[in-house]
Structures are given as structure tokens and as C-alpha cells.
A and B are shown apart, each in its own frame.
Chain A
Amino acid sequence: MSHHFVKIENLSYTYPGRSEPTLKNVSLDVPDGSVMLITGPTGCGKSTLMKCLSGIIPHESGGVMTGRVQIGHLKDTRRADIHSITEKVGLVFQNPDEQIFTSIVRDEVAFGPENRGLPESVTESLIAEALASVGLAEALDRRTDELSGGQKQRVVIAGQLAVGHDILCMDEPFSQMDPRGAAALRDALGLLARDHNKTIILVEHRVHEVAGFADRVVIMENGEIILDMDAARAFDDLSVYNRLGLNVPQSAELFARMGFKERPLDVSDALPLLRENGRVKNIKPPPADKEPCAGNSTGHGSRDKPKIGIENITFYYNKTEPLFENLSLDIFPGERVAVMGANGCGKTTLLLLVAGLLKPRRGRVLYDGVVPKPGAVLGSRAGFLLQNPDLMLIRETVIEELRFPLRNSRVPREKMDVMVRSSLDVMMIEPLKNDYCFALSRGQRLRTAVASLLTPDPDIILLDEPTMGQDRNNISEMMDHFERMGKTLLFSTHDLATAVCHATRLLVMKKGCIHYDGTPKNYFTPSLFTPECALVPCDVMKIAWNMGVDAPVATVNDFISIWSGA
């Protein structure tokens, strides 16, 4: 009998210093070799549950834990020491760079077996087996810093497998992956679950990307389990997902919106169902003048005078490899421009050049037709959100953080208070104003960083991958706010859904050049959508393309409009 099942009975946990429990009577059964997907809004208790499974709670956390967590033959984790728990359970976190500490793949994977004192020959075979099971057999002698994000995360998983863990707990392993990396990781996890009989407990916001290989889906809210169903049935009723702002697989959403009773979780399931019933035989491309998808208004301002003008910019980090050569671009008032493309194509550099944080080697950046004085761009003219907003929280409390940029620009006290109050209200963090920034949840920290850049009321907002590690609600709230305020927005992202739903214009970059510049929706045709730009088509795009539709399809709405036009 194998012993890699997990059983949780009436688990409640209250953090030290808090009166309300974070987990409330949670009970779960995770059988041997199954994949459980746990999701829910930020702060619902998912990560706390992971800590209970890894033994951090209660062994290293303090607080009050009641109920029981059984991991295989360890009947109660409270009575086992943390080492015996970590021998059973492998942990994988969001950022692989925080878990890899050697420079060669072989060494990283060998670390566990060597710690167990296994002979060299056994270690070698374990390394080979673990790397093969995540599809990285040929990467044995590669340097870890040369791997892509998805490859690094797979190396981390291989490191856990080599120790002999049959239970893998993963806390948002996809959140920092670009679409290509996520696809590779998804395939590797699918392989582990299907062919290697591993028990996988996966906490993830990106439900639509992982639901396809999950056996069960669990939704948590306020520390409680509100849904625990087989994955095949878990999307029958989408109302709970919509209420909590959770992503759902596009295929399932498409079928629900079309009024079909089936809920396919990926394209391979959806296509035969659509074809079998002859439901799509008459599908036709939409008329050419069809409106773009909902949410993509064309911006508030005029297109006569650009807000930001980029004129013949040349920029390089290394003289022999120029990143931009004579790049020109106009961004008009009120436009919301998404910049997409593979890692290293120049998205962040473009933002830094626009913000004046990098100087072009040739060419210039104009604001309202004028070259600004050095250092005069950021602040009241433009706000910039870095990729990791945590590094932007410089002061201790939320209110101090919001006052910080205003103090630096010597805004009078009365005016400062008004501006800070406005930002607190807009980002809905007024109740948190006296809290310590680093005691906030991830979503709250993002809102605080955004509020801080909004206090000087800039016209232009520059965001570097704001969607990374954030749930859909947080992203939508932030983007909706920028839209309401009529801000000119330039943001880089890997998230197709955010670009499609919140941008009025899409720039796709390829090796420092603009490969596409137009409305987001029009890009999503098989002839334009090229794999070199590291974008992965979403389900409805694949479905439409498989059916021979050459018209742009990016969202479920687009597909339905073609469907109803058929």
C-alpha cells in the first residue's frame, strides 16, 4: 500500500496575535496519485493551508491549530517533527530563483539525494529519472542561470522528485511564468500526474491554465472550503467563479455561454464536442466592420497630438547588439497600450526609456511635444510601477508611503492630505492606512504601490508587468480605475487576457522591433500570431483557428459574436 495520500480533518488555524482564524474547519481528502487544484481570492487561506501541509504550521509558526493533518503514515503532523514531514512532502514556491542555489542543473537536483547520504551511483540514476520526468533530461549539465523561467521551475520540481517525494505541494508555481514557460510547466506536471502517479496539491490563481489536468477543484473563501468537486463537474456552475473573480478555462466558459451542458476543460475536449453535434458547421467570419471586444474603447483624448512621442530612438546595452534602432512611436492621450513579446525583446527597456530612467543613445522622447528636463518626467507627469511592487514600498506604513512622493516634491501639508485621501479612497485602502506595508497581503501591497504613484496625480502611467502574481480582481480593479480617470497607460504584460480586456492598443515586440501595432483583437489571427513572440494562443483562439476561422478571435465574446452571426 502506498502512503502518499493526504487527509485533513476539521483543520482550523489562528495566527499569533489575531483573533479570527485564517482556516475554519477545513476537511479534505487527497488520494494517492491525484491532482488537487486549490484556488480562491487573495487572502482566502490557500497559502496557510500549504503551510499546514508542509509542517511550518504549527512547528515554526506559533498560533493555535486544531483538527488533524495526516500525511501518509504520519497520522498527525502536530506530533511528527518537521523533518519527517518534509521527507514526505516536497514544496515548490512561486519564484524559482528563490529556490535554486547552485549553478549547474545536476548539482541542484543532486542536493536532496546527497543530503540523504545515498551512494553516488544511486544519486546519478535519481537525477536522470527526475529530470526525465519533467522533460529536462538533456539539461543535466546546463547552467541554471541560462534556463528560462519555466525550465527553472521544472528544475526545482526535479529537485523535489529526486529526494523521493511523492507528494508535491505547489504554491502558485505558474504566477511568474511567461506563457511559454507556463505551457512547458503545465506539460511537465501533466506528465507527473499521469505517468508517475505523484500526488500534487496545487494552489493557483491561473485556474484556466491548470484545470485541464486536475482531478479535483477546491475553492476557498474566508478560510473555508466552499466548493470541492471533481474537475469534470467543478465548472458546471460558473457563478461562484464570477463572484470571486476567478479565472475559468475558456472552453468551459464558452460552452456555458453558448448554453451547452458540457464543460470541456481544454481545446482537445471542446473541439470534438463542437464538431460531433454539428454545432459549428455554419460558422463564418464576422463582418469586417465588427466592433472590437467589450472593454476596448479607443481612449479618451484626441489623436492629433501625441502624449508621448518616441522619435528615432537607438539604444543598446551592448554596442554589438543594439536593442532598438531608430524606433519611433506615438502614444496618444487616454490610450491604454499593452506591450507584449518574449523575454528580452525590450519591453521593460522601452518603459524605462519613456520614464527617463534610461537615456537613449540616439533619438529623443517627447512629452506633449516637448523634451522634458532631466528628472522632470516622473512624479506629477508620469508614474512608474516596477515589476516587483514590494521593492517600491520604502516607508513603514501605508499613509507614510503615500505621503513620501509628495514630501519629496514639497507639496504643502493641506494639499498633501487631500491628495493622499483621494488615493486611499480610489485604491480602497483607507482602512489599512496605518498598517505596516509588509504586513499586507500581496494584492494590498500592489494597491498601496499604485496608490503611492497616483498621489501626485500623473497623466501617464507606466506599468512593468503589473499582472505578475496578482489575481484577476486586483488587476481589473486597477485597470478599471486607470480607464475611469482617462489616464494614458503604457504597460508590459505576458497576460493575453489583460491585454485584450484592458488595452486599446497592442504593441507586439520582436527583438527590439515593433512586430504588430494595432487593436488587440485584430492581432489574434493565425496569419499574424507568430510563435517567435512567445505568446501562446488561448483556448478560443485555438478553437476558432481549428475551425478555419481567419477572423480575429481573442475572447469568448468574439467567438460568440461569430457564432451568432453564423
Chain B
Amino acid sequence: MNKSLLGVNTAPSPVKRLDARVKLLGLFCVSILVVIIDSPVTLGSFSVLALLLHAAARTETRKLKVLFILLSVALWGTVFSQAVFYAGTPRTAILTIIPSATDVPGRLTGGVFIFKEGFIYGIVQGLRFLVMTTLGMLVVWTTEPRDMLAGMLRLRVPYAQAFMLITSFRFIPILLEEVNSILIAMRIKGFRALKYGIIHPVRTAVYIMNPLLANLVRKSGFLALSVECRGFSPSVSRVVQKPKSLNMPETAAALIMVLIIVSVVSAKVIYLLYFHGLYYSSSLRPLYSFAKNYL
């Protein structure tokens, strides 16, 4: 990963032009939706939509490649671990990896299986992560840090927290470059950083952390002094450039997002009342059906 992987897309696009407040609001709404919704079909549709938004934002191919690798690994890990270690009931074994009758591993583990319910649960969890990461990166790649900061402040995020979050974006690439240099230093000194084993990865991590942390402490000291002597203080009442008002489509988009959230939450609550036998109305049957299949 290099410096420009966290940089803002250079190509102009409608997503890039969108006000930071709308993007942040959208991200917040989706974060609520992915928690509420359990349907793999709907979450899968959200994932496709998120990827289409990247296409609309003209995200560079190399960034998408990195995102794809990251998401593939995360999705595979989540699905596999949930499918194997699912502890809920009922659970249906659809594939046997180690039969329980196998001598030592079978007796020790009681057998290792892939469970259908775990597999589906893993897909749901993986898709939630996928949607949030894809949209999160979309916001990072299409919003200038200053716009993001201004947007956060307008959305009443405390200044100190917003400032720290935005600043961390600036320093993550530097951190990654330093990790890369330390890995080169290890190669220079004949140490194989990437080697299988139980202790070796821990040792590698410790060796990376030594110089990395020492540099970080030094750097953060400089940064703290630099911002402090420019009057930064969490308690100071800071003047930020007034953001321009939202235009009509942006206002409409924000309202639609709020409307969707309110509708989905309401539908889910009504369905749960029915599901737990607390409230039922026959006129709401289409809603129950929709919520069951898609929410």
C-alpha cells in the first residue's frame, strides 16, 4: 500500500461533488441499515450498489484492487469461521471436514463440520463488513479532508474528535511507508519477516513495533507542538469556513435517506412485534411478508 491509496480521487465525478454532510449522513444511515437487516439478498444488493457507486465515482483501478483483496480475505475469513464454529441451534451439517470417528483429531474435536446456518450467518456478517468498508472508502476517496472536517462539525461531531480522525488519515500512509522501510531493514539484516510458525509472527510484530512506536511518539510530539503553537485546543471555539448550503438534489437525497431509515426501522419493529406475538393486524400482512424476506 502506498501513499496515494488513501488520497482523494483525482477524477471529477458526481459522488465527489456531493456535499460531505450528505455523504456522512448516507454512511450513518447505511450503518443503521446493515445492523437492522438480516437478509443476505438485501445485503448483497447493498454491496452491488456500493460497488456501482465506486464506478460512478471513477475510483482508480489500483485502489479497487486493494479494496477487492481486503474484502475477499475478510469475507472468506468470516464465512469460513462462522460456518465451522457456529454454535447456535438448530444447525445442519452440510459438509464434514474431519469425521468424529477419526482417531485423534476426530475424538479431540468431536468432528469438524460446515454448518448451513453458520454459513448463512457468516455471509450476513461478511456482507455487513463489505458494505460498510466499501462505502467508507468511497467517502474517504471522494471527500477532501477539509470538507470532511467541516461536514463533521456541521453534524455536531465534537471538534477534537473530528480533528483527530481527519489527522489520522493524513498519517496512515506515512505509517505504512515506515512499516515497509522496517520490513526492508529486516531483510537487510537477514531476518525473514514472513515465515510460518507460532512464535515467529509475534517476534516479527515486536520487531516492527520497536522502531515504529519510537518514531510515532517522536512524530506525535512534533505534531502536537506544531498544532498547539497554532492555537489548537479542544476547548477553543474554532471558526471554520461556512459550508455552502445544500442544493436541491442534495437536500432531496438527504431527506430520502432519512425517510428510508425511518421506513425500514418501522417495518422491522412492526415485524418483530408480530414475530413475538405482541401485535398483529391482517392489513399488515404484505409488510410482514416483505420484512421476512428482505429485512
Which A residues lie at the B interface, using CB under 8 A?
54, 56, 82-83, 86-87, 89-91, 93, 95, 97-104, 107, 110-120, 123, 145, 156, 159-160, 163, 165, 355, 357, 375, 378-379, 383-384, 386, 388, 390-396, 404-405, 408-409, 438, 452-453, 456
Where the two chains meet, the residues of B that have a C-beta atom closer than 8 Å to any C-beta of A are 3, 7-8, 144-146, 166-167, 170-171, 174, 178, 181-182, 184-191, 207, 210-211, 214-215, 219, 222-223, 225-233, 236-242
Return the chain A residue nearest B170 by Cβ: A101
**Interchain nearest-CB distance for A501 vs B (Å):** 27
Given contacts A87-B229, A405-B191, 8 further A-B contacts (CB under 8 A): A100-B170, A101-B167, A110-B241, A115-B231, A378-B188, A390-B211, A393-B211, A456-B190
Known: A93-B222, A119-B239, A383-B188. A145 touches B229 (CB 8 A): no
**A141 → chain B, closest Cβ, in Å?**
11
Which residues of the partner chain B approach A115 to less than 8 Å between Cβ atoms? Answer: 230-233, 236, 238
Separation in Å of the B242 CB from the closest CB of chain A?
Answer: 7
A391 touches B215 (CB 8 A): yes
Contacts of A160 in B (CB 8 A): 229-230
- Taken together as a complex, chains A and B put the C-alpha atoms of A123 and B230 apart, in Å, by 13
| From B207, B211, B230, contact of A111 by CB (8 A) | B230
A163 cross-chain contacts in B, Cβ below 8 A: 229-231
Q: Which residue on A lies nearest to B226, using beta carbons?
A: A99
Chain A hits for B215, CB < 8 A: 390-391
Residues of A within 8 A of B174 (CB): 97
Contacts of A388 in B (CB 8 A): 181
Q: With CB as the reference atom, state the residue of chain B lying closest to A89.
A: B229
26 pairs from A and B in contact (CB 8 Å cutoff) = A82-B228, A86-B225, A89-B229, A90-B229, A91-B229, A99-B223, A102-B145, A103-B7, A103-B145, A103-B146, A111-B227, A113-B239, A115-B230, A118-B239, A378-B188, A378-B189, A379-B189, A391-B185, A391-B211, A393-B210, A393-B214, A394-B182, A394-B185, A394-B186, A395-B207, A438-B211
Highest count of chain B CB atoms <10 Å: which of A98, A118, A375, A453: A98
In the bound complex, residues from chain A placing their C-beta under 8 Å from that of B190 are 378-379, 405, 408-409, 456
Residues of B within 8 A of A409 (CB): 190
**In the bound complex, CA of A135 to CA of B184 (Å):** 38
Cα–Cα, bound, A456→B166 (Å): 44
Interchain CB contact under 8 A, A392 and B231: no
B167-A159 in contact (CB<8A):
no
A54 to B226, CA, bound (A): 11
Q: How far is the CB of B213 from chain A (nearest CB, A)?
A: 9
Q: Is the CB of A120 within 8 A of B241?
A: yes
Chain A's closest residue to B207 (CB) is: A394
**A384–B238 contact, CB under 8 A?**
no
CB pair A91–B225 under 8 Å, yes or no, is yes
Known: A98-B222, A117-B238. A378 touches B145 (CB 8 A): no
CB distance from B142 to the nearest CB of A (A): 13
Chain A residues, CB < 8 A from B238 = 114-115, 117
A386 and B232 within 8 A (CB): no
User: CB distance B241 to A111 under 8 Å?
Assistant: no
Bound-state CA distance A117–B235 (Å) is 12
B residues within 8 A CB of A393? 210-211, 214
Taking a contact as CB atoms closer than 8 A, the residue among B167, B228, B237 that contacts A83 in the complex is: B228
Q: A78 to B265, alpha carbons, bound, how many Å?
A: 58
Complex interface: chain B residues within 8 A of A386 (CB): 181, 184-185, 188
What's the Cα separation between A408 and B203 when bound, in Å?
13
Contacts of A120 in B (CB 8 A): 239, 241-242
Interface centre among A165, A386, A391, A452 (most CB of B within 10 A): A391
Q: In the complex, which residue of chain A has the Cβ closest to the Cβ of B186?
A: A394
A391 to B207, CA, bound (A): 10
Which residues does chain B contribute within 8 Å of A453, judged by CB atoms? 188-189
> Are B231's CB and A116's CB within 8 A?
yes
Using CB atoms, name the residue of chain B closest to A107. Answer: B146
Q: Tell whether, in the assembled complex, residue B236 and residue A117 are in contact, meaning their CB atoms are under 8 Å apart.
A: yes
Closest 5 CB pairs of A and B: A115-B231, A408-B190, A86-B229, A112-B230, A405-B189
**Cα–Cα, bound, A355→B185 (Å):** 12
- Report the minimum CB–CB distance from A385 to chain B (whole Å): 9
Closest to B8 in A: A103
Contact B188–A391 (Cβ < 8 Å): no
Q: Is B239 in contact with A123, judged by CB distance below 8 angstroms?
A: yes
Q: Are B186 and A391 in contact (CB under 8 A)?
A: no
| B191 pairs with A404, CB closer than 8 A | yes
Q: Which residues of A contact B226 (CB under 8 A)?
A: 91, 93, 98-99, 156
Contact A394-B211, Cβ < 8 Å, known A101-B223, A117-B236, A357-B184 = yes
Q: Give A53 Cβ to nearest chain B Cβ, in Å.
A: 11
Bound-complex Cα distance A392 to B184 (A): 9
Shortest beta-carbon distance, A455 to chain B, in Å? Answer: 9
Q: Are B225 and A56 neighbours in the complex by a CB distance under 8 Å? A: yes
CB B158 to nearest CB in A, in angstroms, measures 15
Complex: how many Å from CA A388 to CA B214?
A: 13
Task: Output the least CB separation between A412 and chain B (Å).
Answer: 15
Selected from B189, B211, B219, B240, the residue in CB contact (under 8 A) with A114 is B240
Give B197 Cβ to nearest chain A Cβ, in Å.
Answer: 15
Q: A115-B238, A120-B241 are in contact. Are A394 and B189 (CB under 8 A)?
A: yes
Residues of B with C-beta under 8 A to A384: 188
How distant is A164 from chain B, measured CB to nearest CB, in Å? 9
**Which residues of chain A are near B146, meaning CB under 8 Å?**
102-104, 107
Q: In angstroms, how far is the closest chain B Cβ from the Cβ of A116?
A: 5
Tell me the complex Cα distance, A438–B227, Å.
25
> Nearest CB to that of B145 among chain A residues?
A103
Which residues on A sit within 8 Å (CB–CB) of B227? 101, 111
For A103, the chain B residues whose CB sits under 8 A away are: 7-8, 144-146, 170
Q: Are A392 and B191 in contact (CB-based, < 8 A)?
A: no
Which residues of chain B are near A86, meaning CB under 8 Å?
Answer: 225, 228-229, 231
A114, B228: Cβ atoms under 8 Å? Answer: no
Inter-chain CA distance A112–B239, complex, in Å, is: 10
Are A87 and B222 neighbours in the complex by a CB distance under 8 Å?
Answer: no
